[in-house]
Amino acid sequence: MHNVSKRIPGILLCLVMASVASFLGGLAPLVGAPVFAIFIGMILNILYQPSDNIQIGVRYTSKFILQLAVILLGFGLNLSQVLAVGKSSLPIILSTITTSLVIAFLLQKALKLDVNTATLVGVGSSICGGSAIAATAPVIEADDHDIAQAISVIFLFNILAALIFPTLGEMIGLSNDGFAIFAGTAVNDTSSVTATATAWDGIHGSNTLDGATVVKLTRTLAIIPITLFLSFYRLRNNQANGQVKQQGPKISKIFPMFIIYFILASLLTTILTQVGINPSIFNPLKQLSKFFIVMAMAAIGLNTHLIKLIKTGKQAIILGACCWIAITMVSLGMQHLFHLW
């Protein structure tokens, strides 16, 4: 009980910052509340140095509240519905995810970029932006600087995608269905997918938003195998380096418990929907998940030095650009190959 009371001041500070960020995110959805939260935290870091008492709650929010947010995220995934509707785009999704991860792996050493930062940029670019970064960061034990840098890079290319893709799609003659697949596979974050598809619909009087959202949710499923693979890979590396005893590893080491709970939440949603229960009952949990992610991003921002982030961000931006351009080209190329335009 004493430990809980120690966390409260820091958690409350993150709660206040997240509330402000959520309000600003509502006014500027293209930027999004998580990005606002990180920058509010980084600005506050310059003006105010939290006491040790505050830091206890801030650290708790950046780690355990973040993991709880990922678990609750599972209640937004009806696996059977997403796969049934999104299976036509599955080859394109797999191609874009593979492309981004391979580029991140190959360029990490060439750019002399921190392994964790490169991993987060690659995963965030290929899967679902901030949610994928939130799920992956605890698995690879990324620090707050790595997370803030990856989120900032993803944000930059989200903005560019929302501004450029509708015009690009028009120039190359994409159909409405083709643009839905393009937006769903080549734009990083859900809010930016929504903004990009809405911009297209405003020009064409179409309804690509639903299709783009389903494709995006199908991409989100890749969180599961990617995080499990990274967890196993990290454990094996630690064993090889003598950091972990060479013995049969516990299942919680191979499969992080919060990822297991995320899978169970997704399965529960799928099963209950199959027996006729309206999945809208999980909407409050989905909203709470989004707010917890914003809280965690505020905590991460509070522990991130803005000037250092700017000085060390060049390589991460180059990696993000390479991933983004490659994903765009592969998405369009695969559509052309399968005659989906």
Q: pLDDT tens digits for 4-33?
A: 778 899 999 999 999 999 999 888 877 788
251-294 pLDDT, tens per residue?
Answer: 445 557 888 888 899 899 999 988 888 878 888 998 899 899 99
The confidence score (pLDDT) of residue 241 equals 67
Following CA atoms 208, 211, 216, 222 in sequence, which dihedral angle do they give, to the nearest 10 degrees? -160
Looking at residue 132, the DSSP 8-state letter turns out to be H
Q: What is the pLDDT of residue 248?
A: 45
Looking at the predicted structure, is the pLDDT value of residue 244 above 60?
A: no
More confident residue, 77 or 332: 332
| End-to-end CA gap in the chain | 59
Lowest mean pLDDT among 78-82, 144-148, 205-209: 78-82
pLDDT digit string, tens, across residues 297-308: 999 889 887 777
Question: CA 42, 47, 51, 54 torsion: positive or negative?
Answer: negative
Q: 167 versus 239: which is more confidently predicted?
A: 167
| Torsions phi, psi for 174 (to 5 deg) | -65, 140
Structure token digits, residue 59: 């650290």
Closest by Cα among 216, 150, 232, 148 to 183: 216
Banded model confidence at residue 211, pLDDT cuts 50, 70, 90: confident
Q: Which one has a higher pLDDT value, 341 or 163? A: 163
**Residues contacting residue 137 through CB under 8 Å, at least 6 positions apart:** 66, 120, 146, 147
Contact 197/179 with Cβ under 8 angstroms? yes
Residue 287's identity, in one-letter code, is: Q
**For 43-63, what is the mean pLDDT?**
88
Lowest model confidence (mean pLDDT) among 50-54, 70-74, 255-259, 310-314 = 255-259
d(CA 183, CA 74): 22
**pLDDT reading at 199 higher than 70:** yes
Name the band, by pLDDT with cuts 50, 70 and 90, for residue 323: very high
